[in-house]
Chain A
Amino acid sequence: MKNLKLKAARAAKDLTQQQLADLVNVSRQTINAIEKGEYNPTIRLCVSICRALDKTLDELFWDV
């Protein structure tokens, strides 16, 4: 399932996939895979992404 919340949060911060990838020390393709729903990141990476985008885990990665 696509992670549209992540994509929206990234866009709100005016970050490209590459910029976000650099902030959390992963490849751009990994960010792309997470947004497309093709890869489930570890909790460690989820936390790093949340910190980079000033969001909580629930806001980005939890389907309520």
Chain B
Amino acid sequence: MNDTFGGFALGLISVLFVGIMVKLFVRRRMNPDGREYDERQIAVQGKAYKISYFTLLIALTVGGLLFGFEGKAVCSPFTLVMISMALSLGVFITICIFKDAYFALRPQRKNMLILFLILGGINLFAGFRRLGDSPETAAVSLCAGGLLLYACIIIGIKTLLERKAGDE
């Protein structure tokens, strides 16, 4: 493992750690009664977790078989894992958004959309810049950016469908 990848891995682990801390402490303080999602939303998220878990398994299996049968590797194992995770998260996001289980009870949908667009754009830009030099680190940025922009598209489609249906 070279220094560049080591630094990148440390950054990735730090982001994951901060995300978990935010989930455990900050959001719990903002919702002291624990009711961030209602019962229907929690049930939908449960189904979404199940389907995305199997999506991840299938993607990793297919990717692993490609490595086994291809004489030359299509991509590095790390990139394969990132793509599989992105696919799995994409499935989760799609189910939750279309079944109205993505946003909490007191959502700030517009703010989240803007945040997703900005972060998605930054990640895609950073990913494309690094593509030639360091494809593995670029893969993470591209997957993250692609996912965030995909979430924006799905939210947009869902909003259009809701307006068309003319909910009360």
Residues in chain A within 8 A of chain B (CB atoms) = 16-17, 25-30, 32-33, 39, 41-42, 45
Specify which of B40, B100, B105 is in contact with A25 (CB 8 Å cutoff).
Answer: B105
Q: Which residues of A contact B133 (CB under 8 A)?
A: none
Known: A25-B105, A27-B105. A42 touches B39 (CB 8 A): yes
Please determine whether B168 and A41 come into contact, CB atoms closer than 8 angstroms: no
Does the CB pair B168–A16 fall under 8 Å? Answer: yes
Closest to B39 in A: A42
- Could you list which residues of chain B lie within 8 angstroms of chain A, going by C-beta atoms? 35, 38-41, 100, 105, 167-168
Q: Which residues of A contact B105 (CB under 8 A)?
A: 25-27
Interface centre among A26, A29, A41, A45 (most CB of B within 10 A): A29
Q: CA of A25 to CA of B34 in the docked complex: distance in angstroms?
A: 12
Instruction: List, in ascending order, chain B residues with CB within 8 A of A27's CB.
Output: 38, 40-41, 100, 105
Contact of A45 among B39, B167, B168 (CB under 8 A): B39
Which of chain A's residues have a CB closer than 8 A to the CB of B39?
26, 30, 41-42, 45
A-B contact pairs, 10 of them (CB 8 A): A17-B167, A17-B168, A27-B40, A28-B167, A30-B39, A33-B40, A41-B39, A41-B40, A45-B38, A45-B39
| Nearest Cβ on chain A to B127's Cβ, whole angstroms | 34
How far is A30 from B167 in the complex, measured between Cα atoms in Å? 12
Distance between B159 CB and nearest chain A CB, rounded to angstroms: 13
* B35: chain A residues within 8 A (beta carbon): 25
Contact A39 B168 (CB under 8 A): no
Chain A residue, CB-CB nearest to B41: A27
> Distance in Å from the Cβ of B40 to the closest Cβ of chain A?
4
If A30-B38, A30-B41 are given as contacts, then 18 extra A-B residue pairs at C-beta distance below 8 Å, sorted by A number, are: A16-B168, A17-B167, A17-B168, A25-B38, A25-B105, A27-B38, A27-B41, A27-B105, A29-B100, A30-B39, A30-B100, A32-B168, A33-B40, A39-B40, A41-B39, A42-B39, A45-B38, A45-B39
Are A26 and B168 neighbours in the complex by a CB distance under 8 Å? no
